[in-house]
Amino acid sequence: MKNYWPFGIFLLAMVVVGLIVLTIKVAVMNPVELQSICQRSSQEIDANINEIVKSRESFLNKYNVSFEGALQQDTKSFRQIFLRLSNKINGKIETDAKVSFFLTRPNTVKEDKNLGEGELVEGLWQSQSFEVQKEGRYQSEALIEIGEDSICVTQEYFIQKSID
């Protein structure tokens, strides 16, 4: 009667080595340092995190910020990003803000798009028109500056293939 234990242990060791190699390959091909938020690198955010948190809290105490639109859309209908920005004290729409929009895919910088400054139309800040080719997860980012106050807000969207 043959004993297959040595063969099984060898195969298990090879699977473990293969998974280690695969993990290293994925880590090298997708470095974290290439990720950015509102066109700021991870290193810049780490270095200035205390000021960013204070600025964010101060901004959110003064203003209401929310993205508008469905979180699940198809590739044909996802053309613009909409943002509502109002003052918490009087509830009025903020018209003197500078809003810059960015579109990115999580975990990659290959498809990042700088959509430029937004335009205020009927109470909503809207980005320039854009087109997405692939379905999947997208993140819209908006860098909002009002005087000395600034904030970067993000919203994740799931884009499905359009049904023709």
Burial (CB < 10 A; 0-12, 13-18, 19+), residue 119, is exposed
Query: Mind listing the domains of the chain with CATH numbers?
Result: 38-160 (2.60.40.10)
Confidence of residue 17 (pLDDT cuts 50, 70, 90): very high
75, 133 in Cβ contact below 8 A?
Answer: yes
Q: Does the predicted model carry a pTM greater than 0.75?
A: no
Q: Are 146 and 63 in contact (CB under 8 A)?
A: yes
Give the pLDDT confidence of 95-143 residue by residue, as tens digits: 888 999 998 887 777 778 888 898 888 888 889 888 888 888 888 889 9
DSSP characters for 56-87? HHHHHHHEEEEEES-SEEETTT----EEEEEE
The total of other beta-carbon atoms located within 10 Å of residue 143's CB is 19
**pLDDT, tens only, 55-75:** 888 888 888 888 888 888 877
